[in-house]
Structure 1
Amino acid sequence: MTEKTGFSLNGYLVALVLLGIIVPSVASLSPVWGPAPWFGMSVLVICLGCMAGFFMVQPNQAKVMTLFGAYVGSVKTNGLRWTIPFFMRKNISLRIRNFESGKIKVNDNQGNPVEIATIVVWSVTDTAEAVFEVDDYESFVSIQSESALRNMASSYPYDPQEEEDIALRSHPQKISDILKQEIQDRLNKAGVTVHEARISHLAYAQEIASAMLQRQQASAIVAARTRIVEGAVGMVEMALEKLKEQNVVELDEERKAAMVSNLLVVLCGDKHTQPVINAGSLY
């Protein structure tokens, strides 16, 4: 069911018209002012019945109108409005809302249990679908958002296995865009537009958190050591080239190997080394 504009008129103009009809009708009830009191009474009753057609539309709200169970349209124009009194009117908010899911436990695509939660910013854009296509659109948003979050989290790893992999922790903006689209696909039938969806909580489940922390620490140590070794090798290579260019000392292959070993120990070691001064011969 698609939203359409319902019949309504400016309430202030209708009020002036009704007032202009009611005053003469009341006057006609008196035998002094009018010869047709029954006609005036009938007009007065009709005008009083028309008073039930007035309703107020607040900013960012809409009225969904039905007639004997049939949808006749929605009114989004703000202010005092008037419509046919037989129309049933249901108020629905068009304001932007926040929804924060609870923490749910789900396995990522590597089988690791993680805890994840999301914040969804949404609003109703099609009042007819929101009212008639689903039983309770607010509950529908809540349930479908958690379902989309669970499906998305199980499709990606917590940490990237390769440098180009998309992961929950390393690509927050990309994951947010994917989550937003997946939630939107599920809520299209409810007349709801998703403005933003972001991960509000992400962590390994408690039963594996300690082991995963050790793995992350080990990975960080390996990465740091790799960078240190790469830098140390470059520094040793530069030292040997400088000694050769400036003819500071001539070293055979055995002495070069000893020098390389000593420099790597100094540059790659965790603790400060103690210098040893050779006060004897060159070798």
Structure 2
Amino acid sequence: MAHQPAQERDASTRNGFASIGIGLVAALAAIALVASRPGPVSVTIAVLLFALAAWCWAGLYMLQPNQAALLMFFGSYRGTDRHEGLRWANPFFVATKMSVRARNFNSEKLKVNDLRGNPIEIAAAIVWRVEDTARASFDVENYEAYVLTQAEAAVRHLASRYAYDNLQVDEHGNTGAEITLRSGTEEVGAALRAELEARFAQAGIAVLDAKLTHLAYAPEIAGTMLRRQQAEAVVAARSKIVQGAVGMVELALKGLEERGLISLDDERKAAMVSNLLVVLCSDHDATPVVNTGTLYN
């Protein structure tokens, strides 16, 4: 037979101040009755009135805002009371208080492998709260320990689904549209929250927010990956410089021809293009050599 998950339901309770008033009236009535008409009948009635007062006072308990009380009757779940203030329930009910406030959990830095197998360090901050008190109490052994374990498992699984960064760079220095842990902050956060909600559902836990707080390559490859990123940045920058230089050389040659300032054969054009590219693409300031003779000497 399949296990039926517990389901929270409202408990049958009432305002505690009314119970205090009823108990106080019963106690005063018992005292007045015994004082005014002593005798076996009066004493019996007084005892019953005191029993009523004790019944009214024994079932009192108090709840703070965002606090709930699970009511049990000899091991049987009778409902959950979420009303704040002074409350009253059957004195035979055992009230177990539980916080339903939002809680924050910061995971430790976990060392895992990303989608490409690179070792990385990752950590997350998760905001959660108890949504179904019955499931949190009866469907898992310890819901707080359950949250910690499942959160770590979710973060590990998330890291294995995405690459740390997109290492594929085109000739223009642009990366692809692949969602990565470093670039897809919103998408990765949404995926983490969805996985946590699926894992926490059994314990009646709601996920309010989930974000990555730490993301880095593992120390053993951090230096290598940093040099690779630097090399890719240099290649991308060089590519843009060369594209710009080629365009400038083309404009220069076209301008000279249109204005008829000089006429260059193919060999001289090649030499001028080479010189211009050296000047435009060099990392250092170029030192020009002034030709004091003719262009063809």
When structure 1 is superposed on structure 2, of 142-151 and 161-170 the one drifting more is 161-170
Partner residue of 1:205 out of 203, 213, 218:
218
Q: What is the distance in 2 between the residues matched to 1:56 and 1:25? A: 27
Q: What does the per-residue CA deviation read over 1:47-73, in whole Å, with 9 as the maximum and x for residues that have no partner?
A: 213311111110111111111111111
What is the Cα deviation at residue 15 of structure 1?
1.6
Task: Tell me the C-alpha RMSD between the 2 structures.
Answer: 1.5
SS at match of 2:68: strand
What is the Cα deviation at residue 78 of structure 1?
1.0
2:153 aligned partner: 147
Partner residue of 1:105 out of 94, 108, 111:
111
1:165 aligned partner: 178
Q: Percent identity?
A: 46
Structure 2 residue runs of 5 or longer lacking an equivalent are 1-5, 169-175
2:96 aligned partner: 90
SS at match of 1:59: coil
Structure 1 residue runs of 5 or longer lacking an equivalent are none
TM-score by length of 1: 0.95
TM-score by length of 2: 0.91
2:257 is the alignment partner of 1:244: yes
2:231 is the alignment partner of 1:218: yes
Q: What is the distance in 1 between the residues matched to 2:246 and 2:263? A: 20
* 8 Å contact kept, 1:30–1:37: no
What is the Cα deviation at residue 161 of structure 1?
4.0
SS at match of 2:215: strand
1:75 aligned partner: 81
Q: Which amino acid aligns with 1:187?
A: F
SS at match of 1:208: helix
Q: What does the per-residue CA deviation read over 1:243-269, in whole Å, with 9 as the maximum and x for residues that have no partner?
A: 223323222222221111111111111
* 8 Å contact kept, 1:29–1:41: no
What is the Cα deviation at residue 13 of structure 1?
1.8
What is the Cα deviation at residue 160 of structure 1?
1.3
1:56 aligned partner: 62
Q: What is the distance in 2 between the residues matched to 1:164 and 1:282? A: 51
Would you say how many aligned residue pairs link Structure 1 and Structure 2? 283
1:255 aligned partner: 268
Q: What is the distance in 1 between the residues matched to 2:186 and 2:258? A: 51
2:29 is the alignment partner of 1:24: yes
What is the Cα deviation at residue 33 of structure 1?
6.5
